[in-house]
Amino acid sequence: MSLRQTLSEFYPPKPTFTEKDLDDLAGKVYLITGGTSGIGFILAKTLYSKNAKVYITSRSAASGEKAISEIKESVQSSHGELRYLVMDLGDLQTVVPAVKSFLAQETLLHSVWFNAGVMKVPNGSITKQGYELQWGTNVVGHFVMQKLLMPILLITAQVAPKGSVRVVWVSSDGHSLLSPKGDGIDWEDITTRKSDGWQGEKGSMTYYGQSKAGNVLLAMELAKRYGNQDIVGVSLNPGHLKTNLQRHSNSALAKRFEGLVLHDPSFGALTELYAGFSDAIGTDNNGVYIIPWGRVGKIRQDIEAGFHNRGTGKKLWDILEKETEEYVLTV
């Protein structure tokens, strides 16, 4: 990953793929985590405007209903459907029943965007199951979803156009700029459950970067494991955006910096749209990393070397399978 790419991710060229490039999506089913605000909300609105059936996840029924009402109010000509699933990715006990509910309603799933995430949380924040909050939310919760959804994705891939069924992991350039050197992951840290009073010694932003490196590795490993069955794994940096992800930022300096480099979230939705639909992505470049506002980019060199030479994608996948087995086996 070059300095030139890093700078271009802060100030990208004009997008080349927009909602105007989408075909009619009637009969297609999509799932977006964190679709009640920010780029997930905009993506859901875009897909709904093209007549798709769109599921969004929400931490409460009230926020799910509010988001759906707002989308329907702004897109009144759609023949699509909108539904919500209540879950908290920081509590795996809520993830499983939400996915069960989805599977009870649908027989196909054409693509899923693991879009939800947290960032800059207070040091020492943990999930219900004792993971550092950013790791547990951004990685573990979504991994459980992916495992539970894989059967329906494989079924869909048998009847959908080749390379069109995709699992999109929303990472960021934090995987490169903030994660531990070497593999992008401190292996001992991610397998150590935390408890109340844990101090978060590495600092919140390092843990965030580690979670984003995890997203990249899981997309690449998914491509390796399921590419021969026409499932495409993609990771991406949506861009530097003005969203709720910065809600934990409270310093004046941080807010001034964000005001200089952050873009409207609608641009980030275009990055996600590109990852989900562009013909430039398929089984021939499976596991690709996308940068704003829809371009193929490169991940950090040591992380890529770890994947290809040290099997870090498999290592992470195997760790997560073991850690979440009790939840995955319930479906």
pLDDT at residue 254, as a whole number: 52
What is the rounded distance in angstroms from the CA atom of residue 211 to the CA atom of residue 319?
A: 14
- Chunked into runs of 10 residues, the chain (331 residues) has average pLDDT values of 73 90 98 97 99 99 99 97 99 98 99 97 96 98 99 99 99 97 96 88 95 99 99 97 59 52 88 98 98 97 98 99 92 68
**Residue that the structure tokens 């931490």 belong to:** 59
Q: Which spans in the chain are helix H?
A: 3-10, 38-49, 61-74, 92-105, 133-135, 142-159, 174-177, 187-190, 204-226, 252-261, 265-277, 301-310, 312-328
Angle between helices 92-105 and 312-328 (to 10 degrees): 80
SS3 232: strand
Of the residues 37, 58, 111, 171, only one is catalytic, namely 171
Cis bond before residue 293 (omega within 30° of 0): yes
Q: What is the CATH number that goes with domain 3-328?
A: 3.40.50.720
**Residue 35 is encoded by which pair of tokens?**
């679709």
**Residue 295 is encoded by which pair of tokens?**
């371009």
pTM of the model: 0.93
pLDDT at residue 10, as a whole number: 77
pLDDT at residue 290, as a whole number: 98
pLDDT at residue 248, as a whole number: 44
What's the chain's Rg over C-alpha atoms?
Answer: 18
Could you tell me the sign of the dihedral formed by the alpha carbons of 142, 229, 289, 262, in that order? Answer: negative
Is 212 annotated as catalytic? yes
pLDDT at residue 251, as a whole number: 55
Contacts of 71 (CB under 8 A, 6+ apart): 41, 44, 45, 48, 82
Of the residues 211, 212, 226, 235, only one is catalytic, namely 212
What is the rounded distance in angstroms from the CA atom of residue 288 to the CA atom of residue 222?
A: 11
Is 171 annotated as catalytic? yes
Of the residues 30, 55, 208, 289, only one is catalytic, namely 208
Ranges of each domain in the chain: 3-328
